[in-house]
């Protein structure tokens, strides 16, 4: 059975019907778990580069998703009783990973961006100069060679205007990748409403002046790896 994830899109370019207003994404469990395994990685080889340890990491990521989410009638994903009884620190870690996973899933399914890299993890290779701690989580490229900057948040409850504004500000801080402005600056928020998983994302126009802008100089080596399948 296909999954059903309700989502809302705001601010995306005209002409993209799946990225306007309210819609439903219908991934499979395979799609969702693949997003969990690969988020932040540039290719399949990188996912399993540490052999047995990488296999256990993949198992950990899969287990985290299946611990936190269960499929109910109609294909909707609900928060499990196990996830509800975690302590606050554990809930925060789980929600953060759910946020990353859902952003990766939506980027792959609707933007055709199959690989999204952690900006922090790949900072040395990407030659990123950071003047503050505020920055998006992921950076990647679509199959059409459009750059994407993604700030990913995970919450137990629906986001308010302040949360959406922070996500927007962090997403728009990447002003260029190798001299080219990203096509998408996305703030993505995964949340639960009555324990049902939902997703919100927005692609706002960058503000006239970006405080502490981030310019990514992508080296040929890292993006050559990025396109290995």
pLDDT digits (tens, 9 = 90+) for 104-146: 999 999 999 999 988 876 666 556 655 555 678 999 999 998 9
Confidence of residue 148 (pLDDT cuts 50, 70, 90): very high
Model pLDDT, residue 122:
62
Q: Is the dihedral of CA 77, 79, 80, 83 positive or negative?
A: positive
- Alpha-carbon span 25 to 199, nearest angstrom: 10
Domain containing residue 74: 5-226
Give CA–CA dist 116/39, Å, rounded. 6
pLDDT at residue 28 in the model: 97
Per this entry, what is the length of the chain? Answer: 229
Query: Is the model more confident about 221 or about 193?
Result: 193
Whole-number average pLDDT of the chain? 88
Tell me what percent of the residues of the chain surpass a pLDDT of 70: 85
Output the pLDDT for position 43: 86
Both tokens of residue 70? 């269960």
Q: Which of 34-43, 64-73, 166-175, 216-225 has the lowest mean pLDDT?
A: 216-225
Lowest mean pLDDT among 7-16, 64-73, 105-114, 219-228: 219-228
> How many distinct structural domains can be found in the chain?
1
How large is the greatest C-alpha to C-alpha distance in the chain, in angstroms? 48
């Amino acid at each position: 059975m296909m999954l059903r994830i309700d989502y809302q899109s705001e601010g995306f370019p005209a002409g993209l019907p799946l990225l306007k207003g309210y819609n439903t994404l219908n991934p499979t469990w395979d799609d969702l778990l693949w997003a969990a395994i690969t988020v932040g990685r540039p290719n399949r080889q990188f996912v399993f580069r540490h052999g047995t340890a990488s296999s256990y990491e993949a198992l950990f990521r899969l287990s985290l998703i299946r611990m936190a989410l269960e499929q109910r009638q109609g294909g909707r994903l609900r928060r499990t009783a196990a996830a509800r009884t975690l302590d606050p620190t554990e809930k925060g870690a789980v929600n953060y990973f759910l946020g990353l996973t859902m952003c990766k899933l939506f980027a792959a399914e609707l933007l055709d961006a199959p690989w999204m890299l952690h900006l922090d993890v790949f900072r040395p290779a990407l030659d990123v100069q950071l003047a503050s701690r505020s920055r998006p989580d992921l950076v990647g490229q679509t199959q059409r060679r459009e750059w994407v900057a993604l700030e990913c948040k995970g919450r137990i409850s629906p986001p308010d205007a302040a949360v959406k504004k922070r996500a927007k500000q962090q997403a728009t801080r990447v002003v260029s990748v190798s001299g080219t402005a990203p096509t998408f600056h996305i703030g993505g928020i995964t949340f639960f409403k009555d324990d049902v998983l939902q997703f919100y994302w927005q692609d706002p126009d960058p503000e006239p002046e970006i405080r502490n802008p981030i310019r990514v100089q992508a080296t040929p080596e890292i993006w050559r790896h990025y396109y290995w399948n």
